[in-house]
Structure 1
Amino acid sequence: MTDSPVPMELNPPLEIDKALLKKRNAAETRFKLYGLAAVLTAVLVLGLLLTSIVSKGYTAFEQTYILLDVRLDQATIDPKGTGRQEDLAAASYRGILRDALKEQFPEAESRNEKRSLYGLVGSAAEYDLRNAVLENPKLVGTTATIAVKASDDVDSYIKGFIPRDVPQSDRKIKDQELGWLDTLEADDRVIKKFNIDFFTHADSREPEEAGILGAVIGSLYTLAITLALCFPIGVLTAIYLEEFAPRNRWTDIIEVNINNLAAVPSIVFGLLGLAIFLNFFGLPRSAPLVGGMVLALMTLPTIIIASRAALKAVPPSIREAALGMGASRMQTVFHHVFPLAMPGILTGTILGMAQALGETAPLLMIGMVAFIADIPGSINDAATVLPVQIFLWADSPERGFVEKTSAAIMVLLAFLVVMNAIAVLLRKRFERRW
């Protein structure tokens, strides 16, 4: 008995199979190349962005100082000879500083020349001199070499941001000032120091005096309020919806609204805070208390969604085993399910807080965009936060604020990287695979 022949359409030639396989492999290879190209493009753009920020901002961590021989006459500083800090602090250090500059460059005689000469040092250089005297009262009655901050224009010139090979009308530092700076540099009287004031001062109208401490403290207060409000409310909401809430139309509506709130633009929460917290309840404007409440509203959906995902990831066998041993529903959730879901909950919370740290738009609506020259002492004091401080400096015309803006961005990115790294470490350290 012979086998019946197989129809040609059910047994295509081997060459056709090879052609189709080759075509599918080529399409898969192209797709992989497209994905790799997209990743490399993203990395390249990110690298260019970071390079631009670092190249503009690293110079802000240095400050130019000018060394001056200052005559600290006791008759001028402490005529009564008491040596008390109050008397030493009340002396006219501006006049002493100007006398030192005139002794260094006696050729400056006209009013305009003296104004240009005094402009070599920063507007707050007298406080550098005062602090030096207060730290070492033995300097009174002597001639000491004191380092005082250079002005913003001098600092920019020393750092290479103001070229000298352009016409005098096109640069802020004139030829006479360049001559004085050349003399000071030849005598090694122009030095650079680490700009500790950038981390210890609040905002200022003068770029050489501006710092981020006020914004950092404001951010810490704001995030503390945000965490205190959104973590317990968000986690308890997730536990109720995932473990206790009945499955009906009302819970479905709540879940849909939570998911929708996670996609609402952040400025909408700012408008809500302006209308409710400021206009209705009359809470203080620009305060971290209000900022934290607004950011808590914005962060709640993220924490609820992340917490529900972490609770859902716990295997049902854990619940069944606890219930089978006689545990109540409450004991099962809080003694077994919640501890096992805690790493995922913490990860989602940290990521939500990192998002809140970088927000600007909702805080602009509640007045945290105001110029704040003082470091806030409580959650009710007027304050700003680091992203808003960056926004303010980016809008300033002075050249010194350009590097301060980029440096503040570097600090903010460092905070965000640390927070995301903590989230990754928590996930890797406590994650359980079921």
Structure 2
Amino acid sequence: MGLLEPRRRPGRAPALGPADHRAAGDPAARRTTTRRADPTHRRTHMSTDAPTDRRAPIRTLEDLAVDGKRVFVRVDFNVPLDGDGAITDDTRIQAALPTLRRLLDEGAALILAAHLGRPKGVDPALSLAPVAARLGELLGRGVALSPEVVGAESTRLAAALEPGQVLMLENVRFEPGETKNDPDLARAYAALSDGIFVNDAFGAAHRAHASTEGVAHHVEQAAAGLLLQGEVETLEGILADPGRPLVAIVGGAKVTDKIGVIDAFLERADTILIGGAMCFPFFKAQGHEVGSSLCEEAGVEPAARALRDAELKGCRLLLPIDLSLGREFSATTEQRDLDGVDTPDGWMGLDIGPKTAAAYREEILGAGSVFWNGPMGAFELEPFAPGTRTVAEAVAETEATTVVGGGDSAAALQQFGLGDQVTHLSTGGGASLELIEGKALPGVEVLRQA
């Protein structure tokens, strides 16, 4: 192989544009292309061509001795509230229960820290009072709410805790030093405990805040809760040692929001499936007409680069071959299907078409591992939900390991009643994407073993 000749990974085809993808649309042929490679071949493939990103393991609850101790626990209770301040979805509270119950069962007293919304100073509308009340119901025990984050009253309440008791601090973002990772605030958090910190807030782990990263430097023991541990091990695992073929489904509105994820999977995935409005910068880069579709101009150059890199790296980057169009972004708009991708003037692409959905389904069903982040179209509008629904059903049906990266993908799974039919549904959103991109998450790195 010459120095400038691009290396291709064994057994993988180059990137496909719409015309090539259409030719590959026969289900039998597609199943042939997604046959699982020999396991030995996969290991060689990974060791020679793609980074494995093996990092030091994080410390876990197994590393802690908490009996009779006060433990400072960072949780992600940033739940949605209605106009009356009532919780409309307690999924994030439910997700923290295994960690909290384990610590309580092992004889700990808990001081819980969480944020809610983005307050500018103290805002009674963003008090954690409804969260403390709901948590108490779920735990079956009282959860006291401190009237402040840190200060004399929080110190008094924390000092009085007995094993099995739970104290929740007020919204940590009421403190201006929280998002600045103020070391004095971090020390104040640590002082409430007996030198033990547990971070179970994966959704906030990509922020270097006082309660997610700073506090870990002022305690004797710091470890991940069960939720954060599961998120990190699952997401890092699908990058380092995925079942083959690895299929990444990337959708949403903007290429620039997901280019880091696309770049990461160009190095590791066998196939990338592109959907949502972010397909239009790819089409424009190829010279196709996009009509009135949402087409991010800043995304055209990164899309063109991704197409070139897919060719060089031997990754099959698949784009839609047909579209579902509307006159405007509305559930009642005039709608038509387009066999092809050149969108006429006055029309906008609002979903992948049925041929694309069927082809993507075959790719997913033939996968060994699947990562999905981003819808295939405007699934919140029923006429333009079929593409995302088909992908969601395939992700639920496949025998592959399936990891869904939170956000709109998680919302789609829940909307279609499939949230419990995937291997791992991430709570992280932005944290999930940054971890996939290979970025260091401050709230995770501080927990890694030396």
More strand by share: 2
Larger Rg: 1
More helix by share: 1
Superposition TM-score, scaled by structure 2 size:
0.25
Superposition TM-score, scaled by structure 1 size:
0.26
